[in-house]
Every structure is written in structure tokens, then in C-alpha cells.
Amino acid sequence: MAEGIANDPTIFTIPSNRAFADSLARGLIDRFGADPLGLARGRILLPNNRAVRTLTEAFVRESGAGLLLPRLIPVGDPELDERIGGALDNAEDDVLVPRAIDPTERLLALAGFVGRGGKGAAESLRLAADLARALDALRIEEIDPARLAEAVAEADDIAGHWQKSLAELQAILRFWPEILSERGAIDLAERRNVLLHRIAERWRDKPPPGFTIAAGITTAAPAIAALQAQVARMPGGEVVLPGLWLDDVLPTAEWDALGPDDRGRIEANHPQFHLKVLLDRLGVNRSEVRAWPATAGAESPTRRARAVANAMTAPAFSHKWETLMRAERQLDNVRLAEFPDAAAEAQGIALALREALETPGRTAALVTPDRQLAARVSALLQRWGIEADDSAGQALSQSPAGSLLLALAAAAAEEFAPVALLTLLKHPLVGGAGEDRLQWLDSVRALDRALRGPRPAAGLSGLDRHFKDKKVEREWARVRPSVEPLGGMFAKPLDLAALVARLAGGADALAGERAWSGPDGRMIAELLGEWQALPAASSLMVASDDAIPLLRQLLDRHSLRPPYGKHPRIFIWGLLEARLQRADLVIMGGLNEGIWPALPTPDPWLPPRVRADLGMPTLESRIGLTAHDFASALGAPEVLITRARRDSRSPTVASRLWLRLRAVDPDLALDEMLPRLAIAIDDPGKAEPASQPAPIPTLDQRPKEISVTDVDRLKADPFAFYAKAIIRLRPLDPIDQDPTAAWKGTAVHDVLETWFKEDDCDLDTLIPRARAMLKQEAVHPLLRALWQPRLMDAIDWVIGEMASDREAGRNPIAAEIKGSAVIAGVELTGKADRIDRNASGALAVVDYKTGKAPTLATIAEGFALQLGLLGLIAQAGGFAGLDGIPEQFEYWSFAGGGKRVAADKKIDGFLNHARGHFDKAAGDWLTGMRPFQAKLEPRYAYGDYDQLMRLEEWYGRN
């Protein structure tokens, strides 16, 4: 054995019922803290940077005063050689280890390789991310490509798509080293392996001065295991494992049964399996592991730890649940809570966290892999002004600056479609601040109203014409210069570097310095600069459909965590963060299948069989790690475990971990109060439904003017008329709305009006005008394809009817003509679609309907009075320049190829019929004091104001 190597390994464990980081810090302070420089002479190897932060905070808590910390080295750090210090110095034969390729540079390079088959940029990037994980997994396990080829050859019966993926993966493994060599770099995983092996070799020959501790590292990757094996056996070296169950918790028979057995079978989903694999690679027997000195005593192990081990036992030993003594199955200070849905679960967790603050100094943490649940709880805590310390931070795509970048890309990619454009213009970073922001929003609101209805033509030129027609040129002129940099962005092929440059220019034009201020803005500014500088960014071509998903993938690789301002006693941890920390109350949320444990991440490159043959971590291994995290969290002083019986789509299935706890301890406490509180906190009490509205405005508030089209509304739904005419509320069309029946009716009316006024109803010009209308930019191609045949049939019918009328001496004399007359003390106004003069000199009033005409029964009941009221105006001489007695009243329906309906058929005295109904309606509601009751005649009422009248609360009860 080389000089400086101890014979026996020194390995400790800190049980789950003790906070790992605090116990480690306490033990080291007790041992080395007497000397002011004692701790500073040592080094601690930790799994990642988050563990470094956690242990640093633990030293601060445990010391109570200032102290010099040991060197804290995350073995997963890209700059491991710098963090390790002089361990790699002063070696004559040392060869400089190449730099690690930048992760984004590697991702883009792999995306270019994957995308050679014609895949889009976003799909290529997604597959490249999966490919990068597969390459890393092979590097971490130090699997030679030859072994992969052998495993593939042995698995010749796998599906064809796997064979294709494996062939492509092997090709990449052949060419990828050459690509890296050209860049003077290697993969980060490979570089870390080289450095770790080099450190282990150096320490084998010359152990470093002071103490060296590998703490909290549970991965059994060969390079890390080799380093830990060296640390455990050298002078001053120790390995400290988290939550290893010794034989007083997990009997030897159950430990040995984890495998592998003579047939190679393993229990990879057991929470201790990965630690067994690690100990095997370290060459250590579990009996050689000791309790960390700072945790030894009556508390370790606890009765709860044995109960947890019994609950998590391998299937072959689960029969012992039937015979376990009460003391071996009781989970003290652990309770369950079931909620009806995910919203109630989040509310209940927030209440439990808030309650913990009532005890001075008490800490509480939510541990969950469900980021949606964590976000809900964080938002609910803000009700009490609590900003939870969320270790995961915020995805950069969800930050203000990140969402601005995505909004810019969306507006450019969709060629300023209404929703994308308004999303960008209303972004909180856009338009300046203070008075400038208010003026900006005034202009944007005007554009918002103008964009209601069907989508205008694409691009800036389409918006120019649309806003000119809507008479909002002044407001558009204020906004247009700021969005011009985005115009025509995808008119020609665009690479990622050019896309980033254009988006940065758009952000400057719209938001100025506000786009780059704050932590998120500064981070994005740095990322944009890095992306532009990467050579692969100039070769990755981005289409308009790829821009948003591509940018989102790139932004989601980074998260933003504010360094201060969070609550010091309320935390939200993911599973990684919870491994080394402890709170007085630990809440494990989302205990449903698919969350605990999580659904497996699909690997499109390595089939499960090949992974198993190569000895790589499998799905069962990941389940085992999740089970270990779960078992470790159960060691907290108080534990609350929650689940929702439903998610947003369907009933849920309780996690297998939840079911195991219920099986081992049927008397496990079920919290029934917390779900009731979660529901009650926002319960408004007994609902008092609204009654049917019937406002009674004063006589001077009632209008003395009414349109012929509003009389039917007044009679059928007086409240709707009240809302429109008296309180002047108008329903707004949705933004980017599909063309409605009303829009199609207006378009047809415009064609027929222009045909009369410009062509004098020339029968040869109507079809060309109809075709020109169908070619307008506002007519979607699908609408054109579906509507054109029916419309042209109706146009042919109109031409035939007009020809017949002309032969009979009937000719149009007015179109879309407005008129008015005072009737029953009220000014009645209206617009006639067309008025003809018969051979006798009498008038015929025509109303166009793109749909079906009203039935004769409806007309007889007095709920289709428009033609009769127009006739009354004509009778009173209310249409300027027209004289004559109206004698014919017709609906020209374009439905079904065209149909002419005589409105006065079977109604003697048609004008007197209309006058009688109008006189009564005017006398009741316009010159009288009758209440404007809602839905007086529901059969003929519309739904524009149903929400305002709270229809659902009273309709059907009165």
C-alpha cells in the first residue's frame, strides 16, 4: 500500500432524524474549533454548490461567532481544479486538462448535429438536451463506446426506432471527440472524471495536510467513488454519508437482500440501494460505518426510524407488517392530510406554514418535486406578507425580462397578430414609467378596442391599413416606431445569433434600460451576449414556428434566486435541497403517483434494456433515490404529508410511499381539521343569490329615441335595452375573433350597398363585387373555402330575383338609407337595407338576412317588428327624398341559396299591427314608468348582458 494510506476506512453516517449540515458543522467545531485556524486547515468535499451554501449557513448557526471555514469544494463544480486549490499543483508530469465546453455551446453544437435530418430548431434543441444527458450518463459511468456497441449487438431484438436512435448515438460518439478537439475542449463530465481521478492519485501518494471530509455525496459514479475511497483511507480523511440505515434500523438480512444476488437481481427501488452500491464500490462493509460523533446517543436511531425502515422494506419482507409490534410500526409526530383538490392542498400547506410562525424560532419547510404546488403555496403565503425562501428560485422565462424577450419573439413570429402584439405592448417593462407609461397605455387601449373582431392583415402594413380604417392613426403613430425593429424579422432565414440581435434591438426600442435593469435583466443581457458569441449560434437556423419554444428552452436552463428579502424561517425545498437540511416542521406535499415518485423522463437515445446491461442507473434507481429522500425527510421533528384526491383533470392515485406508511401504521394520524380550514378560509358564507333585476329609472333618464333594431330587444329583454341605451354598456368583440354571422352580414350589406350606389344595380357587376369581398385580407382562407359556395349561390339568386322584379316594373330607389319619425311621443330611427318602387308607385321595403328570416309566427307575436317600423317611418315621410305608400315588406334571406319571405303575409293591417306593438312598448318603458325587467320573453332575448344581470343566480327559480 502506498505511503500515507491507512488500512481501515473511516466512514460515518448522520441519521435522518438529525439535520445533516448542522450535525456535520457541530461535530467539526467540537473537534477543531478550539484552534482559530483548526477548521481553516481542512477541506470538505460536497456534492454541489447548493450543499456548499447549506453547510456555510450551518457553520454560521452553530458557531455563534465568526470563524474561518474550511475549504468547501463541490465535486460537481465545472471549475473543480480551481476549487480544489493546490492539490493539482507542483507535478512535473502534469498535462493541462482541456477546458470544459460551455454547456450552451455544446447544446447548440449537438442541436446542429441532430437537426441535419430536417428537424426544426426547437425540436433539434430538445433532442440535443436529451442527447447531452445521455452522453453525460455514459461519461459519468465511464462506459467505453466499445461496451455500448457490445450491448447494442446483444440487444438485437429491440424495436426499430431504438435501433435507429442507437445507431445515431454511436455515430455521435465517434465524431463528437473530434468536434471537441477542434474547439480545444472536452465534455464537463469527462473533465470532472479526469480531475477526480487525478486528485485521488495525488492524494494516494501525498495526502494533503489537515483533515479532508467527503460529506453528503451519495452517487456511486466511478470517479467520485474512487476519490471517496481514497479519502476514507488516508490520514485525516473521513467520509460522512447521509441517512445510512445501520443494522439496528435495517437488519442484515434485509440489507443483503438488496442485491445483487446470485442471479444478479437487485432491489434498486429500495431507499438504501444506492448507498449499498456506493459502499460496495468503496470496498466497505456496512458494519464498518459508525455514527457521527455529534449524533451519537439515545436519539439515534429513533423508534420512528425503525418504523420508516419497516415501511420501506423490500417486497420479500413486507409480510412482516402482519406481525410487527406496535413500537416497531408507530410513526410518532407524523400526520397525513388529504384534500379534495390541488388548490385546497396548497391552501392547507400555506396555513400549516403560517401556523408554524406562531412559535418563536420555529422553522418550517415544504418539500415537494411539484413546482406547480410550490408556486401556489408561495403565492398564498403572500396573503400574510410572507415571502418564502424558495431554493429553486424562478425560471428565467417567467421573470419580467424573460417574459419580455418571449413576447418580442411572439410578436415578430406571428407578424403582429392581435394577441401577441397587445401582450407585448401591455408588458410592464414597455412604455416607460410614470406619466409616459400612462400615456402609452392610453394609446394601447385605443388599439386594443380597434383590434376587436377578425384579425387584420399580417405585418406592419396590414396594421397601418386596419388602424386607418378604425380611425386610430394618432395612437398607432405613437406606438409604431417602437415595434418597427421587429417588422419582417422572419421574412428570410434567420440564425440564432441574428435573432438574438434583433430581439435585443426590439427590447431597447420598447423598454430601453428597463429591459436590462434588475437581476433578471442583467442575467438575460449576459446570456444574449454569450449566445451571440457562440460559433454554433450562427449555424442554427430558426424559423418563426421555432422561435418561442427555442428561446423558452434556453431561458428555462437558468433560474433566478434573489439573494435576500425572503423569510428566514419559511422555506420551499426541492428533493436535492432537502437532503442536507432540516426544519422543525417538514411538509411533504403532492404525495401522488407521478409526483412522488416522479414520472420517468423519456430517454430517446438509450433504451432501458441497454441501460440495464451497461449497469447504468435505471428507472428503479431513480425511484430508490426518491424513496431515500422521502425517508430522510421523515426524520424531521414533526412531519406533515399531504395529497390531493383530484388534480385539474381527474382523480389521483395515492403515492406508493403514502400507501406504505398507511400499511405499516394503520393508526397514522389523519389531520381532518386542516382540510376544513383550507376550505373555510375563503368561504364567503351562505350565498344570497341575486333576484331578477328590474331597475326603474326616472322618466327623464328614459330615452326618447329608439332604433327600429332595438324595439325587439326592449320588448323581449327590457334589462338588456336598459344596459345598452341608459347605462350605455356595449359588449366588446373578442380580440382576434373568427368572423361571426354579424360580420358576414355586414360584409354582404356593404357589397349590396356599393353595388346600388356605384353600379346602379347592374346585374353583371354583382358577382365580381362579391368575389372581391371574399378576397379581402380579413376573410380567412378556411372561411372563404366554406362560405364562398353558399354565398355565390345566394348572389345568383339575388340576380335572378332582381331581373324578375325589373320585368314586373319594380326597381330599387334607395339602399342603406337612414330615416326617422316621431311616433307615440318617441323619435323612431332606422336604416332600410333597400327600398324599391313598384310599377304602381308604391314602396317595397326589403331587409337582407344572411341567415334565416324570422318566422311568420314571430312576426305575428310582435317580436320581429323591424320591417313594419321602417314602413311607419316611410309612411310618415321620414326617409328624405322618398315619397309613396309602403305596401310590400320582404325579407331576402341568403340561407339555403336564397328565399324571399313576405313579412306581411297573413297579417292584415301590417303597419297598424307594428304601430300597436310599438305604441304599447313606448308607453310602458320610454314614456311610462314600467320596470326594465330582465328576460321578460326569454325565447326572443339575446345573451349579451346575461352576466351583468347575473342570470345564472335567479333564472329558473322565479
pLDDT digits (tens, 9 = 90+) for 838-875: 999 999 999 999 889 999 999 999 999 999 999 999 99
* pLDDT one-digit tens code per residue, 528-540: 999 999 988 988 9
Alpha-carbon dihedral angle through residues 805, 806, 812, 813, given to the nearest 10 degrees = -140
Q: What is the mean pLDDT of residues 766-782?
A: 85
Closest CA to 215 of 86, 4, 28: 28
Cβ pair 334, 671 in contact under 8 A = no
Angle made by CA atoms 278, 574, 627, in degrees to the nearest 5:
45
User: For a pLDDT cut of 70, what percent of the chain falls above it?
Assistant: 96
Rounded (5°) CA angle 529-532-537: 145
Element (H, E) at 670: strand 669-670
DSSP character for 736? T
DSSP string, 107-144: HHHHHHHHGGGS--HHHHHHHHHHHHHHHHHHHHTT--
| Mean per-residue pLDDT over the chain, rounded | 90
Mean pLDDT over residues 482-506, rounded?
92
Q: 415 or 783, which is more confident?
A: 415
Identify residue 139 by its one-letter amino acid code. Answer: R
Sequence-separated (6 or more) residues with CB below 8 Å from residue 920: none
Whether 300 has a pLDDT exceeding 50, the answer reads: no
For the entire predicted model, the pTM comes to 0.86
Residue 645 burial (C-beta neighbours within 10 Å; 0-12, 13-18, 19+): middle
**Pairing status of strand 585-588 against strand 570-573:** unpaired
Contacts of 800 (CB under 8 A, 6+ apart): none
Residue 393 gets which letter from DSSP?
A: -
In terms of Cα–Cα distance, which of 43, 31, 39 is closest to 227? 43
Average pLDDT, integer, range 657-663: 93
Give yes or no for a contact between 584 and 358, defined as CB atoms under 8 angstroms apart.
Answer: no
Percentage of the chain beyond pLDDT 90 is: 64
b/e per residue 243-254 (b: at least 16 CB within 10 A): bbbbeebbeeeb
Average pLDDT, integer, range 46-65: 88
The three three-digit cell numbers of residue 288, written as one number = 464498518
Task: Give 919: exposed, middle or buried? Use CB within 10 Å, 0-12, 13-18, 19+.
Answer: middle
Contacts of 487 (CB under 8 A, 6+ apart): 412, 416, 459, 460
Q: What mean pLDDT is predicted for residues 124-152? A: 88
The H or E element spanning position 821 is: strand 811-823
Contact 624, 575 (CB under 8 A): no
Q: Give the pLDDT confidence score for residue 115 in this predicted structure.
A: 79
> Does the structure show a pLDDT above 70 at 667?
yes
Distance from the Cα of residue 793 to its chain's centroid: 47
Q: For residue range 208-254, what is the model confidence (pLDDT) as tens digits? A: 999 999 999 999 999 999 999 999 999 999 999 999 999 988 999 99
pLDDT digits (tens, 9 = 90+) for 103-113: 999 999 999 88
State mean pLDDT over 622-642.
92
* Better-predicted residue by pLDDT, 150 or 862: 862
Indicate whether 483 pLDDT > 60: yes
pLDDT at 957 over 80: no
Residues pairing with 389 in the sheet: 571
> Can you tell me whether residue 168 is helix, strand or coil?
helix
SS3 content of the chain, % helix, strand, coil (to 5): 50, 15, 35
Q: Is the pLDDT of residue 406 over 80?
A: yes
Give me the pLDDT at residue 614, please. 85
In the chain, the amino acid numbered 49 is N
Contact 607, 155 (CB under 8 A): yes
DSSP string, 831-897: EEEEEEE-TTS-EEEEEEESSPPPPHHHHHTTS--HHHHHHHHHHTT-STT--S-EEEEEEEE-GGG
Of 226-235, 335-344, 607-616, 819-828, least confident by mean pLDDT is 607-616
Q: Give the pLDDT band of residue 641 (cuts 50, 70, 90).
A: very high
* Cell numbers standing for residue 566: 425572503
The CB density around residue 957, as the number of other CB atoms within 10 Å, is 8
pLDDT at 368 over 90: yes
Looking at residue 298, its pLDDT comes to: 44
At 263, is the pLDDT very low, low, confident or very high (cuts 50, 70, 90)? low
Peptide bond into 260 cis (omega under 30): yes
- DSSP secondary structure of 315-337: GGGGGGGGT--GGGT--TTEEEE
- Residue-level length of the chain: 958
pLDDT of residue 3 exceeding 50, the answer is no
**Is the N-terminal amide bond of 597 cis, ω within 30° of 0?**
yes
pLDDT of 562 over the 90 cut: no
The mean pLDDT of 727-750, rounded to a whole number, is 88
Q: What is the mean pLDDT of residues 617-640?
A: 89
Yes or no: say if 514 and 468 are a contact pair by the CB < 8 Å rule.
no
Using the predicted structure, report yes or no on whether residue 375 has a pLDDT greater than 70. Answer: yes
Query: Does the structure show a pLDDT above 80 at 761?
Result: yes
The pLDDT of 827-837, averaged and rounded, is 95
CB 45 within 8 A of CB 230: no
- For residue 4, pLDDT beyond 50: no
Q: Do the beta carbons of residue 46 and residue 55 sit within 8 Å?
A: yes
Average of per-residue pLDDT across 316-327: 87
